[in-house]
Every structure is written in C-alpha cells, then in structure tokens.
Chain A
Amino acid sequence: MSEKLQQIISKQNKTLMGDDKKVDEVVQLVGFIVGEEEFSIPILSIQEIIKPIEWTRVPQIPKYILGVFNLRGSVIPLIDLRARFGLQTQKHTDETRFIVLKNGEDVAGFVIDRLTEAIRMPKRDIGPAPDTVSEEETMIDGVGKQADRIITILKVHKLLERNF
C-alpha cells in the first residue's frame, strides 16, 4: 500500500517537473513608441507611468536630460528618449508619457511619444541584439519577434546609467 502511494507520488512529481519544462518562461513587457520605432521594457523595472508634469531645467548637463521633476516628494531626473536616441525632439502631445524606471537605487523618468501595449512574450521569441553594436555600449537587450513586428527590448540599467 505504502509502496503504491510512493509510486504515485513520484509519478506526480515527475509529471510536475515535466510540466515545468514544457511551459516556457514568459517575459512581460511594456511597449512604447519613440520616433518611428517600437521599444519595450520589462514590466518589473517600471515603477510607474505618469502623464507629463512640470519639470525644472538643470544647467550644465547634456541636452537629452530635460531636468528634474517632483514625483511625490522625490526629485527625479527626466530624460528625453528622443534626444537620447539622437532623434529630433518634438513638442509633448496628449499621448506623451513619462515612464519612471527603477533599478535598485537608481530612478529616472523617461519621456516617450506614446504607449502601445503590455506584451507577454515567451523567452524563446527573444533574440540577441544585432551584432553591429558592441555588447558594452548597446542599450539594446534583445529583439522580440512577434507575428507582424519586431520589438526592441531596452536595457534598463544602461538607460539609468550616467554617461557624462
């Protein structure tokens, strides 16, 4: 009797483990548009997404940093992703959003043109960053392939890294 029970238990364990292997890991991403391209960021790195609010210019810093803004009492830098990617800046529209990213202690807000959607993507659909850029410098973590489009996944820690 007990032997039987053990057999059943071990069998169940095996199938459970097997199931684990079958289900691919899924990454949840938030997609958004900057310029012409669609980018995405792992949802877990996003602290929040807010509508544009007033910010204060800070002198003596690169142009792509617009300044700092007040997020419920914290002073947080605001970075224009268009300028960061070397694109022509444009006026903020109704669809413009600030995405507040967090990586450990580092927090910064990023201006994006508009949000697209939350994406669930199996890990196997994500390819490496193109070889044309060196591993060290690229802000691209990988490229996600979906039925009709490809989405660039950005490296959060790279975005939050001070490079001036």
Chain B
Amino acid sequence: MDEFEEILQDFLIEAFELIEQLDQDLVELETRPDDLDLLNRIFRVAHTIKGASSFLNFDVLTHLTHHMENLLNMARHGDLIIEPNVMDVILESIDLMKALLVRIRDTKEDAGLDVSECVVRLDFVANGDSASVSEVKVSVVVPEVEAVQSEDELDYSSMSDEEVEAEIERLLVIKNAEAKAKHDAKNSVQEEEPDYSSMSDEDVEAEIERLLVIKNAEAKAKRNAQSGTQEFSNESVEPVVSIPVSAPIVEVPPVVQVVPIVAPSAPPPPPPPPRAPREAKDAKDDGEAKGAANVEQTIRVDVKRLDHLMNLIGELVLGKNRLIKINDDVEERYEGEAFLEELNQVVSIVSLVTTDLQIAVMKTRMLPIGKVFNKFPRMIRDLSRELNKKIELEITGEDTELDKSIVEEIGDPLVHIIRNSCDHGIEIGDVRLAAGKEEGGTIQLKAYHEGNHIVIQIIDDGKGLDADMLKMKSIEKGIITEKEADQMSEKEAFGLIFRPGFSTAATVTSVSGRGVGMDVVKTNIEKLNGMIDIDSEVGYGTSMKLKIPLTLAIIQALLVGVQEEYYAIPLASVLETVRINKDDIYTVESRSVMRLRDEVLSLVHIGDIFEVERVFDNSEHAYVVVLGLAESKIGLIVDTLIGQEEIVIKSLGEYLKGIEGIAGATIRGDGGVTLIVDVAALMQMAKSVKSTVGTESSSTKAIGAKNSATDYCVMIVDDSKTDRTIMRKSLEPLGITLVEATDGVEALNILKQGDHYFDAMLIDIEMPRMDGYTCATEIKKYNKYKNLPLIAVTSRSGKADRMRGVESGMVEYITKPYSPEYLMNVVKRNIKFNEGL
C-alpha cells in the first residue's frame, strides 16, 4: 500500500465514522435547532471531510462539502434558522456526500455524480435570508486556502483532546497539500493571526510540536484554563489551552512555567490564580459535565486480528473440554488418590480462566447496537414525510452490545421490518383519529439482553395483523392451500408475511409492497440462528421480537444420539425437549405429528434426515427435541439426549462444504468429530422427507416381488460341514438361493453386508465363537430383521432348550435328525413359498 492509499483508507474510515453520527445529530437538530453543540458537531463533520478531500484531490466532494459548510456555518452563527425546508436540502446534500464517499471507497475517485444541482439549492437556501453570504463567498475562491481560513472559526473550546489532535494532524495534512500545490499564500493573509500558509513545513512542524508541549504541560497542570481563553483570543492556536483535562494528577506545578510556552509570540497573560487540588477537581467535574472532555481510551484494531484471537480461544475451549473429560476419567480410575485434588483444582482454574478469557475476547468484538439504530431516526423522518404519516420513533437500549458480525447482519432485516411497520402498520392520521387513537403513530425500537441472547423488539401501535386477512391473501397468491389455511393457528398465520411473494400492501409503493423484504428478514435472522416471534392484535398494533445469539463462533449445543451417531444442535434453536411414548405419535396425511400441550407439532426423525441406518430396534420411548427458528417450529425425534456442551464451530472445509443440513463440525472432549445440525436447512428438509416414524422398518417394503424360486433366500448357519450339506440337499429341490455360514459371527457379518435379503435362517445351536441363541438375540436387535423367521435346527431337545430358543426369537424348533421333507415344509411355510413359481 503506498502512502496515498494509506491516507485514503484512513480518510474513508474517519469519514464513515463521522457520517454515522451525523444522521442522528441532524434529526435531533430539527427538534432543537438552537443547540449550538449539535450544530458545531455537524459543521465539523462537513469541515473535516472538506479539508481532507481537498488534500486528496476529490474536487467534486470538496465542492459539495464546501457549500454545505457555508450553510452550516451560517446556521452556527445564527444567520440562518434551520427550518424543515433547509433541513431537506441539508439531508439531501449529506446523502450525496455519502454516495460520493461510497464511490470513492469503491473506485478511488469521486467523478460521475452530479452535485451541481444540490450545490445550487444549498446556495439558494443560504442566500435566502442572509446578507452575510457574499462575505463568505469571497473567501471561497480557493478551497484549499479556505480550509485554513476557517480554522479560526472552529470552536476549539468545545473540542476534546482527541479532536484537537485530529485537528492538528489535519492541519499538517492540509499544510503539506498546500506546499505541494504551491499556492500563493497571500490569499489567506487577511487575518491578524499567525500566517500558517506562509510558513514552511518545518515551521508548521515546530508549531505542532509546540502545541503538543503545551498540551502535555497542561495535562500536568491539570487546570481549567477557561478563564485564560479571553486573553489568548488573538492567537488562533491557543484555545487548545482551554480544554478541560481530567487526568487525575494531583500535583500542580507553577503556572508560570506553562505560560511562556503557551504563547511565546503573544503578550504573556496574567497568570491565573493558583488553584488548590480541590478546586482543580471541581474544574475537572465542570469539564466532564460539559461533555467536552471525552477521554475514553480506545485503540483501533484490525478485525482480522480479533478474528484470529477468537480462533485461538476456540482451540483453547476445545482443549479445556478435553481436559475436563480426561479429569473425569482419571478421577474414576484413581479414586481417593492425593494428587486428584490438585488436578481437580488445576482443571477448574484452567476452565474458569478459559471461560473468562472467552468472554473477554468476545467483549472486544462487541459493538453497541446503537450503531445500527442510529440510522433509523433519519429513516423514519424520511418515511413519515414520504408517506404523509406522523410517526415517532422511540429507541431504548441502544447501548446493548453484540458481536460485530451480528451487528453487520442485523441492519437489513431491521430496515425492512421498520419500513413495513411504517407502511403497513401505522395508519394515516385521519384513520387513526377515527379509531380513537392519537394522530401520530409510535414505533418503539428496543434492545435488551436475555440470557445468552439479545432481543430486539419492534413495536408499533398501528392497525395490527389480521390473521384471516393474511390467510385469504396467501390463498389468493397461491402460497398456501385452503386446507392448510384452515389448520393454521394465529401465530402461524402471522408467519405468512415471511413467505416469499407475500405482500399485503394493496399498491406497491417505493417503500414496500414488492413482497421481497420480509422474506429477506427471515433468511437473515435464520442465518444468525435467531428466532422471530410475532404478536399482534387487530387495531392495537404489532410487536416483533427478534431473538439472536450473542456470538457465532462458540455456541452452546445440545448433543443428541441416534443409533450409533451423535449430532450437536445449537441450543439457541432448542425450545424444549420432551420424552414421549411411541403411542403419542400420530400420523396425519403421512406426516408424523404429536400433541404438545395445545399445539400440534409436526415430527421428523433425525435418522430420516441424515440417512442413518436404523440398525438397532428403537425402544418404546423416544425423545423429541422441539426446535424453533424464526417463526416456525418442528419436533426432531432422537434416540437419546447426551447433554449440553460448549462447542466450537469448525468448517468442514472446501471439499465437503455445502452439505444440506450440516452447519459444520466440532471436536468433542474425546477427540471425536461431531456434526452440527443446520436447523434452518433441517426444517426445509423435513418438508420433503418421508416419515418412517411409528411405522415398521421401511426395509420390509423394499422386498422385491418374488418372481422365481431363486428370489427366495435362506441362510444355513452350522459349524458342521455335513449338517450344512444335509440341509442344502433337503432344500435344493425348492430351487431357492442358499447361503452358508459356519458360525454366528459369520452369519451376522453376512447379514450386515446386506448382499442378500434373507427370507429365513436355519440356525444350529451348538457353534464355536457365537452360539445359536446369542446369534438369534443379536439378529433380533436389528430393526429390519424383526420379522425374519429364525429356525433352530439342533439335537438339543430339552424343554429348557426350546424355551431359550423362543426367548431368543426363534420361531421354529427342528430336532435332529429330521426328514428332508419335514425341513422343506417348515422352510416353505416360513418363507411363504409360492408353489406356482
């Protein structure tokens, strides 16, 4: 990055920061047009941007900001009263300025936008009622020089240290620019103040150094030099002295030492009366009360570094989780040993510190939501004028902090919601009056913390949502069917406004009605793992509650088990968990549902979503994890609940990215990888997944039709070659497929491989490695073999043996020796052999 680029970047960062505050100030200004502090602040923004842009050779921007500055300067001096029409022009020019800055950021130049019209209007307003305009105009000829001129107009006394420093820096910058431009300095030598433009660079630097010395000395002296300001008023730089300093240093060095340094060229002012420390303290309080001494210590850090720090903390959290697990294992193994106590302590300290560290780093990434809220007063103002409605915005909780990445994402959805409230929610004044409400509508924007979430609430006192109307509209637009509409609860009907293509506005305005906005709201909030809750009453208004997790990288998750696999579900999306009986599940139109208190909750099995092979039989009970995202709800059936754990989200990498339903992976305490469920995607998938909950294993349906005898398949399990051959010989006449296994283990393996679908199994009881009973028990554990006929073929004929056979799931018991026909008939009966083939 070359030097210019660097300066440009700094300029842009500064400019955008200034502008952010600007909107807020401007709207405030309209209500309090005489507030000089506000005016000064706004003026300074225009001024600063002008100064810097002229140095960077952005002529268009300089031109515009220069005229803005003029206008604002007049207002500042009381020559112009800020009326709504003046305000409109100012706001317009600020918008233009923003557009220019964006253009500069993107293309590095400010050409292409026409500012002349706006400039003309600015001038028109300025000339409208002030004779002093011409005066100002005179000095406008050379913008760069004007920048210097206006220095004396700046109200230094209301600036903070930082601002002064920035100002000094800016001065230097402009100085250099001037030196480069080789401007004839004489243009600006109309004042009696020290002639900056005729100074050489060295002089300026010396001057600045001097200023710094003064400031330092002042910090030490720690006194309010307000009283000295008058004496210094001929010297353009010395108002710096008037900055109240709040550094808590008690010692008060002799004042005389300071004075000569302060104004070497000016006549020494009478030394201010020495102050006792207590007085100094008072002065400090004064300064703070004035709000000028804004000595918040900040440092600007590249976001990348914070991200890196966050990643490292993530690793640490994983390490901590492992440590805790190991500690548990060790505790079990060496119970009662002395070193355990010590290990326990260390582990707790490490985990405590890690948690604190994580919170601390998270805090560094936190921004107040005011950053987003700031733009809304302006937006509401514009909207209310545009829509001809009286709307007031009440903001509370703008200091509530949340992660930077979330602050960036939350802006758009809020814009859409607030626009919507203005356009659809708040009625026109007459209608409101007729309804017995106040003429002006109110929109409340609230933010507050709730556990690990931040809640942003948008409440309007407009006409509210009409569930029936929403349903009708949706049917009309083909978003839902009439049947669906009938089944919908009120809340679900409210959720319709988030469907793509939905818009209740009768006419499309520039504000809303295109049916895109609210859809975007939903996707964005889902992206943040957030939830939307709508409450509304016809005639009284609507309240929208956005609940968003505080951070994205490290989350709390609920770990669930299905068969042999584990999945992590972001706890933010989990509303509750319920243990249910299989009988509680009903099937409605081939969808599984259950009753949860007053609601009907649709269910989906996690195994159906993630294609988990259902090898084990499900028990009578299941757990339902009720998931809520944005405004929809679903019940996810899982086999087991493992518990809650803090997990670090890791990406699956380039190779496996974009797998539907999986948001990422995390590493567990035991070193294994657990996949994280993408709840939003899961809800989508649930719609298309065919439910197998409550029904018998799906594989029973998969059996192909038996077209020939060879389609039947029987497994013979016996360790004796002779016995196997006898059985084979007995069954061969049927023409069915026969597979042999020498013991239980092999039989199970063959089953698992799934190369054949078996209609029956003949199992010997006495076998090495795994006997027939165990084998049968194992087989019956698998869901899909529940109905597989197992036939014991054995020489054991005792009653106890038969009983054991039944217990382990055998359906027939053939004692050796047997006749081939008998065996054949038993098999035929059990495989339901079709003689016709």
Residues of A participating in the B interface, judged by any CB pair closer than 8 Å: 54-61, 65, 67-70, 73-77, 105-108, 160, 162
Residue of A nearest to B668 (CB): A70
Instruction: List the A side residues contacting B665 at CB < 8 Å.
Output: 56, 68, 75
Please name the 5 residue pairs, one residue from A and one from B, whose CB atoms are nearest each other, closest first: A59-B610, A56-B673, A75-B665, A77-B655, A75-B650
When distances are taken between beta carbons in the complex, the residues of chain B under 8 Å from A107 are 653
Q: Given A61-B656, A73-B318, list of 17 further CB < 8 A pairs?
A: A56-B674, A58-B659, A59-B612, A59-B659, A60-B611, A60-B660, A60-B661, A68-B665, A68-B673, A68-B675, A70-B672, A70-B673, A73-B667, A75-B652, A75-B667, A77-B656, A107-B653
Residues of B within 8 A of A57 (CB): 565
As a 0/1 sequence over residues 696 to 708 of chain B, the CB contacts with chain A under 8 angstroms (1 = contact) are: 0000000000000
B315 at the interface (CB under 8 A from A): yes
> Once bound together, how far apart are the Cα atoms of A54 and B654, in whole Å?
21
Q: Inside 8 A of A67's CB, which chain B residues have their CB? A: 673
Say yes or no for B581: interface residue by CB 8 A criterion.
Answer: no
> Hey, which chain A residues are within 8 Å of B656, CB to CB?
58, 61, 65, 68, 77, 162
15 sampled A-B residue pairs with Cβ under 8 A = A54-B671, A56-B665, A59-B612, A59-B659, A65-B656, A68-B656, A68-B673, A68-B675, A70-B672, A75-B651, A75-B665, A75-B673, A77-B652, A105-B654, A106-B653
> A61 contacts which of B654, B659, B671, B672 (Cβ < 8 Å)?
B659
Contact status A75-B653, CB under 8 Å: yes
Residues of A within 8 A of B610 (CB): 59-60
Residues of B within 8 A of A54 (CB): 671-672
How far does the alpha carbon of A105 sit from the alpha carbon of B396 in the complex, in Å?
A: 46
- Cα–Cα distance between A45 and B75 once the two chains are bound (Å): 70
Quick one: which of B609, B661, B673 contacts A55, CB cutoff 8 A?
Answer: B673
Would you give the shortest CB distance from A65 to chain B, in whole angstroms? 7
| Cβ–Cβ < 8 Å partners of A70 in chain B | 667, 671-673
Q: How far is the CA of A60 from the CA of B657 in the complex (A)?
A: 12
Residue among B650, B656, B672, B675 with most chain A CB within 10 A: B656
Partner of B654, one of A55, A56, A69, A106: A106
- Distance (whole angstroms) from the CB of A14 to the closest CB of chain B: 45
Tell me which residues across on chain A come within 8 A of B661, comparing CB atoms. 59-60
A74: nearest chain-B partner, CB-CB: B650
Residues of A within 8 A of B660 (CB): 60
Residues of B within 8 A of A77 (CB): 652-653, 655-656
Contact of A108 among B611, B655, B662 (CB under 8 A): B655
- Cβ of B636 to closest chain A Cβ, rounded Å: 14
Q: CA of A68 to CA of B653 in the docked complex: distance in angstroms?
A: 10
Q: Is the CB of B672 within 8 A of A59?
A: no
List B residues at the A interface (Cβ < 8 Å): 315, 318, 565, 609-612, 650-656, 659-662, 665, 667, 671-675
Please name the residue on chain B nearest to A68 by beta carbon: B673
Q: How far is the CA of A32 from the CA of B651 in the complex (A)?
A: 30
Of the listed residues B609, B653, B660, the one surrounded by the most CB atoms of chain A closer than 10 A to its CB is: B653
Check if B655 sits within 8 Å of A160, measured CB to CB: yes
CB < 8 Å neighbour of B652 from A58, A105, A106, A160 = A58
A160: chain B residues within 8 A (beta carbon):
655
Contact of B653 among A56, A59, A76 (CB under 8 A): A76
Chain A residue nearest to B654 in the complex (CB): A106
B655 and A162 form a contact (CB under 8 A): yes
Asked if B650 and A106 make an inter-chain contact with CB atoms under 8 angstroms apart, the answer reads no
Complex alpha-carbon distance, A70 and B665, angstroms: 10
Instruction: Give min CB distance, A78 to chain B, whole Å.
Output: 10
The minimal Cβ–Cβ distance linking B628 to chain A, given in whole angstroms, is 23
Q: Are B654 and A58 in contact (CB under 8 A)?
A: no
How far apart are B226's CB and chain A's nearest CB, in angstroms?
Answer: 59
Residues of A within 8 A of B651 (CB): 75
| Complex: chain A residue closest to B658, CB-CB | A162
How many whole Å from A161's CB to the nearest CB in chain B?
8
Please name the residue on chain B nearest to A91 by beta carbon. B749
Of chain B, the residue at the smallest CB distance from A57 is B565
CB proximity of B784 to chain A, nearest CB, Å: 18
Complex: A76 Cα to B651 Cα, angstroms: 9
Cα A66 to Cα B565 in complex, Å, equals 14
| Contact among A56, A69, A76 for B675, CB-based, below 8 A | A56
Q: Which residues in B have their C-beta under 8 angstroms from that of A108? A: 655
A65 — which chain B residues lie within 8 A by C-beta? 656
CA of A58 to CA of B315 in the docked complex: distance in angstroms? 22
Report B74 CB to chain A, min CB distance, Å. Answer: 58
Q: How far is the CB of A69 from chain B (nearest CB, A)?
A: 6
Smallest beta-carbon distance A94→chain B, Å: 19
Question: Which residues on the A side are within 8 Å of B650 (C-beta)?
Answer: 74-75
Residues of A within 8 A of B653 (CB): 75-77, 106-107
B-chain residues with CB within 8 Å of residue A106 when the two chains form the complex: 653-655
Q: A69, A73, A105, A162: which contacts B315 (Cβ < 8 A)? A: A73
Contact present for A60 and B652 (CB under 8 Å): no
| Contact residues in A for B672 (Cβ distance below 8 Å) | 54, 56, 70
| Nearest-CB residue, chain B, relative to A69 | B673
Query: B648 CB to closest chain A CB, in angstroms?
Result: 10
Nearest chain-B residue to A107 (Cβ)?
B653
Which residues of A lie under 8 Å from residue B671 when comparing CB positions? 54, 70
Complex Cα distance, B651 from A107, in Å, reads 13
- Measured between alpha carbons, how far is A67 from B673 in the docked complex, in Å? 10
On chain A, the residues within 8 Å of B654 by CB distance are: 105-106, 162
Residues on the A chain within 8 Å of B662, using CB:
58-60
Distance A70 CA – B315 CA, assembled complex (angstroms):
13
Give the Cβ gap from B642 to chain A, nearest Cβ, in Å. 14
A-side contacts of B609, CB under 8 Å: 59
Q: What residue in chain A is nearest B651 (Cβ atoms)?
A: A75
Residues of chain A within 8 A of B315, CB atoms compared: 73
Taken together as a complex, chains A and B put the C-alpha atoms of A65 and B655 apart, in Å, by: 10
State in angstroms the CA–CA spacing of A76 and B653 once bound together: 7
A7 to chain B, nearest CB (A): 48
Write out the residue numbers on chain B whose beta carbons fall within 8 Å of the beta carbon of A105.
654
Give Cα A162–Cα B609 distance, bound, in whole angstroms: 23
Within the complex, what minimum Cβ distance (angstroms) separates B399 from chain A? 37
Among A54, A58, A107: residue with most chain B CB under 10 A: A58
List A contacts of B565 (CB < 8 A): 56-57
Q: Which of A73, A75, A107 has the most CB of B within 10 A?
A: A75
B354 shortest CB reach to chain A, Å: 15
- In the complex, A76→B662 CA distance in Å? 15
Nearest Cβ on chain A to B710's Cβ, whole angstroms: 23
Chain A nearest CB: distance from B560 CB in Å? 14
Give the distance in Å from the alpha carbon of A54 to the alpha carbon of B611 in the complex. 20
Q: B724 to chain A: closest CB distance in Å?
A: 24
Return A46 CB to nearest CB of chain B, in Å: 17
A149 and B655 CA atoms in complex are apart in Å by 34
Whether A60 pairs with B659 at a CB distance below 8 angstroms is yes
* In the complex, chain A residues whose CB is within 8 Å of the CB of B612: 59
Chain B residues with CB under 8 Å of A58's CB are: 652, 656, 659, 662, 675
Neighbouring B residues of A68 by C-beta, 8 Å: 652, 656, 665, 673, 675
Residues on A with C-beta less than 8 A from B652 are 58, 68, 75, 77
Q: How far is the CB of A160 from chain B (nearest CB, A)?
A: 7
